[in-house]
Amino acid sequence: MFRFLIPLPGLYMGWGLGSNDAANVFGPQVNSEIVRYRTATILTAIFVIIGALLEGRKSFATVGGVTDLVIWTAVVATLAAALTVNLMSYLKIPVSTSQAIIGAIIGIGLLGHTEIKTLLLRKIFISWILTPLGALVIAYLLYKFLALVWQRKVKNLMVFNRTVRIFSIIIGCYAAYALGANNVANTTGTFVGIVPGFSPFMATLLGGGSIALGALTYSRNVMYTVGKKIATLDPFSALIAVLAQAITLHIYAQFRIPVSSSQAVVGAVVGVGLVKGMRMVNKKTLINIFTGWIFTLVGSGAVAYSLGWIVKLFLK
Amino acid sequence: MPRKRREEEVITLMDQHLEKVEECLESMKKTIEDYLGGNIDLAKENALKTHNLEGAADGLRRRIIEEFHKGAFLPALREDLIGLTLSVDKVADRAESTCDFIMLTRPDIPEEFKEDLRKITFNSITTFPALREAKKNLFKDFSLSREQTIEVHGLEARVDDDEWKMNRRIFTFELPLAQKMLLRDVVWHIASISDVIEDAADVLEVLIIKKQV
């Protein structure tokens, strides 16, 4: 009877994801006043849903395959991940929904003594390490290549004005698409194949919709704080950083691994900085990211384990 | 108004502003020529005309800034373009203040210096067309625009040279010290016009460098 309520924690997770990560998609464009906040969130919502619908299902098997889940463990793991994301955001610790959901699944797996697929986990961990590094390399190469095209094509201020305007929209839409394609599995991925009648299509639609809702309703603050940091770059560099982040996420979507858009964007900004001979990210930021990484993974695992333990008592 | 039309409108206004500043310089030149020719009434008339033209340039400057605030161009460009407009506007301000200074102090200029003053006036204001073209080319061709800003620097250096030589002549000439100092101030006012033009060219150059990757 209440079957339709089961994926609710996933929607809560999606809402948190959308409100946090919309900044990595349209933050610089909104902060530079090239795109209005409302327009940015509407475009993010549309393209996140398209990305989720077209490519989102690719990572479902990865999220759901870390351990064997049943309905209640999937609900607890997703709820624990969502709560961790909310708590970490409240404490202003950088957080990744991908790490939160995998940490929670590991936690619930340890509680239930179900087999944890270490080979898959190893693949996921390596991908997480490679996310900022990959984004760095992509940003570096993109900058080098596109700067040549830019120098050849952008010959005056009118062309500069028009090009920045057009590409701000195109790159933002593509980044939203990549976010939907890569991250939707973090929201509803645990329920696919477990909840009767909950098809991958429904999972991508509801997951994508919840991310879209997060972007539409609660992304303003993060958009203006996180986005501002990227917007301190010149328009060309900021667009390269967003594009490199989007390409990284899109590539990982093809490898079926959800990764963090925030960590990708930091790598991309460092990559742009390397081309320009500037140090874009200080040691404190890197330490923040690393501690966020550990805290999210361990924290969501602990929350899932504790929550699961309480639920288990009731189920007995 | 659609954004594209607003941007075209701003470019038209910027062109009109450049023309008005140039008219201001021409009027200042006539004021100096009339003054040197001893035609004080005509000089006063042209000084008033310079004042009015500077006012008209101010009006255009305000309209340009208004259009920027209504949303013409990317915000990242607006600040730079407003800065450039203000720098160009200072040229008209300096032309007006030069006329004011001459008409107020009415310096006694010996015949021996009149030709030099005409020359430095001519050289100082002929720095402006290079800036005008550089600014117009900002919307057409960055590289051409940069070449023209470099031309401005060359022309300004010529005026600096004229100023230095003229000051040396003034201070080696047999004149009362007060007259020497007044003459030096006249020369400074005229030569400073090319300095202000060069300042605007610097603003333009920085803008181009910032927009190229």
Between positions 23 and 62 of A, the ones with CB within 8 A of B are 32-34
pTM as predicted: 0.90
Cα–Cα dist A26/A48, whole Å: 12
CB contact under 8 A, B139 and A235: no
Q: From the CA atom positions of chain A, what is the Rg in Å? A: 19
Residue A250 lies inside a defined structural domain of this protein: yes
Q: How far apart are CA A34 and CA B200, in angstroms?
A: 27
Examine residue A1 and state whether it is found in any structural domain, yes or no: no
Q: pLDDT tens, position by position, for chain A (316 residues)?
A: 567 889 999 999 999 999 989 999 999 999 888 999 999 999 999 999 999 999 999 999 999 999 999 999 999 999 999 999 888 878 777 789 999 999 999 999 999 888 999 999 999 999 999 999 999 999 999 999 999 999 999 999 999 999 999 999 999 999 999 999 999 999 999 999 999 989 999 999 999 999 999 999 999 988 887 767 776 788 999 999 999 999 999 999 999 999 999 889 989 999 999 998 877 777 777 787 778 888 889 999 999 999 999 999 998 7
Chain B residue numbers touching A165 (CB-CB < 8 A): 74
ipTM computed for the complex: 0.89
Q: Please indicate whether, in this complex, the C-beta atoms of B213 and A155 are within 8 angstroms of each other.
A: no
A214 lies in some domain: yes
Q: Please report, for residues A90, A111, A245, A300, the alpha-carbon distance to residue A297 in angstroms, rounded to integers and kept in the order given.
A: 17, 16, 22, 6
CB contact under 8 A, B142 and A234: no
At A74 the pLDDT is 95
Task: Using an 8 Å CB-CB cutoff, list chain B residues near A142.
Answer: none
Question: Cα–Cα distance between A64 and A12 in angstroms, integer?
Answer: 18
A239-285, pLDDT tens digit by residue? Answer: 999 999 999 999 999 999 999 998 899 899 999 999 988 777 777 77
How many domains would you assign to chain A?
1
State pLDDT tens for residues B141-175: 999 999 999 999 999 999 999 999 999 999 999 99
Contact criterion met (CB below 8 Å) for A109 and A116:
yes
Token output for A34? 């090239």
Give the domain ranges of chain B. 3-211
Residue A24 maps to a domain: yes
CATH 1.20.58.220 fits B3-211, yes or no: yes
Q: Is residue A4 part of a domain?
A: no
Find residue A67's DSSP bridge partners: A116
d(CA A97, CA A189): 12
Residue of A nearest to B146 (CA): A156
Q: Do B138 and A33 touch (CB under 8 A)?
A: no
- Please give the Cα distance from A104 to A100 (Å, whole number): 6
**A316/B contact by beta carbon, under 8 A:** no
Domain of A245 in residue numbering reads as 9-315
On whether residue A174 sits in a domain, the answer given is: yes
Residue A40 falls inside a structural domain: yes
- A3 in a structural domain: no
Which residues are paired to A116 by β-bridges? A67
Here the tokens at position B15 are 């062109």
